[in-house]
Amino acid sequence: QVQLVESGGGLVQAGGSLRLSCAVSGRTFSSYAMGWFRQAPGKEREFVAAISWNGGRTYIQDSVKGRFAVSREYANNTVYLQMNSLKPEDTAVYYCAVHMYGDYFNSDRYGRWGQGTQVTVSS
């Protein structure tokens, strides 16, 4: 059974950086696109970034474009979200997920989710 474990969250000052990791167990890692979502208190879960199964294409939400980047490493079945120039509005719980079908921007298209990691950006 596929399991996802996020790490790398924490408290950072505005303008700082964090790199989130999502370790994926199971042999299906290389077969699926992966996505990152976030959910702030009182808000719906929103798309942040996605990467295709072969790493050839990435998709980044407009509000974080130029600051965030997504990558994947097949040797250790891990997906990364590099977050630079962080802002207080980036504060949220960040989740990684396995993309199952359809567009990358809808959370309903993802089948497996991690437990999330908290990112807090202070002003």
**Cβ within 8 Å of residue 30, ≥6 positions away:** 53, 54, 74
Residue 28 pLDDT > 80, yes or no? no
**What pLDDT band is residue 45 in, cutting at 50, 70 and 90?**
very high
pLDDT given at position 104: 96
pLDDT given at position 26: 79
Strand duo 58-60 + 68-73: pairing: unpaired
Structure tokens at 73: 């490493």
Sheet holding 68-73, edge to edge: 4-7, 18-24, 78-83, 68-73
Please write the tens of the pLDDT for every residue from 69-119.
999 999 999 999 999 999 999 999 999 999 999 999 999 999 999 999 999
pLDDT given at position 103: 95
**What pLDDT band is residue 41 in, cutting at 50, 70 and 90?**
very high
pLDDT given at position 121: 98
Residue 18 pLDDT > 90, yes or no? yes
Residue 14 pLDDT > 90, yes or no? yes
